[in-house]
Amino acid sequence: MVRLILLGPPGAGKGTQAARLAEELGVPHISTGAILRQAVFEKTPLGVKAQEIMDAGQLVSDDIMFEIIRERLSQPDSRKGYILDGYPRTLAQAEALDRLMSEEKDAPPVTVVNVDLSPEELVRRIAGRRSCSNCGAIYNVHFKPPRREDVCDNCGGALTQRSDDREETVRERIATYERQTRPVLDFYAARVTRVDGRGSPDAIFEKIAGLVRAGKAR
Ligand code: AMP
């Protein structure tokens, strides 16, 4: 069983790493942002409520998010472990998650990793980010371009930019991160390993995979 929490600002590369680690480790990649985007796409009551908040670069309420994560972690595939990407994002979420995780029986220690990057580099990366509207694969026009412009290498789907990846929203998301999410790092201070997000994706992947395999947090 693997329990990994990936922390870090938007655009630091958490999603890319989480997807690859999930494949390598055989556990689900749980991205609360992806769950919300799916709800927006399906126009569910949650999606309708969440869209405005997401496009403003703000956070969906802790109560709603906790319900989502509680439900997701109760599904059978989460029993063998999981990689959390985008949750927790506030101190209250971290505390609630800690309680939830402490109820899991015979579970190994939690690995907590923070991938960090400067605000300038975050803005540059997010502006270049594209994802496949069909299979969700992530690209970046600066350093991971698709073979054909705006076409997914994997499935031929159309590449699009997330509506909250526009520059104005990105700046607000980074400000929200600094205000509400950075304090979460203090909560995990004794357990977190910091990873420099400027490294190559391969090097960052190896580092995190090594930490998980060693089953330790630092
Ligand atoms: P992400 O894909 O992780 O960057 O998330 C996209 C957006 O979804 C965020 O900017 C928030 O508006 C919302 N969101 C995702 N996860 C959370 C969370 N744990 N708490 C509150 N809002 C979230």
Token digits for 92? Answer: 């209250």
Instruction: Report the separation in Å between the CA atom of 74 and the middle of ligand 1, taken as the mean of its atom positions.
Output: 20
Pocket-testing residue among 16, 59, 164, ligand 1, by greatest number of atoms within 8 A of Cβ: 59
pTM comes to 0.91
Q: Residue 46 belongs to what H/E stretch?
A: helix 45-55
Q: Let me know if 207 is a catalytic residue.
A: no
- Mean pLDDT, residues 2-26 taken together: 95
Mention every residue, 6+ apart, whose C-beta is less than 8 A from residue 37: 54, 162
- pLDDT value at position 108? 81
Q: Give the per-residue pLDDT at 166.
A: 87
Q: Which residues contact 90 (CB under 8 A, 6 or more apart)?
A: 59, 62, 180, 181, 183, 184
Q: Is 89 an annotated catalytic residue?
A: yes
Rounded CA separation 31/46 (Å): 16
Measure the CA–CA gap between 78 and 85, rounded to whole angstroms: 14
Distance from the CA of 34 to the center of ligand 1, in angstroms? 8
In the 8-state DSSP scheme, what is residue 165? Answer: G
Q: Is the dihedral of CA 10, 194, 93, 39 positive or negative?
A: positive
> In the annotation, is 162 catalytic?
yes
Residues within 6 Å of ligand 1 by CB: 10, 32-33, 36, 53-54, 58-60, 65, 86-87, 89, 93, 164, 173
Q: With a cut of 60, say whether residue 218 has pLDDT above it.
A: no
pLDDT digits (tens, 9 = 90+) for 81-109: 999 999 999 999 999 999 999 998 888 88
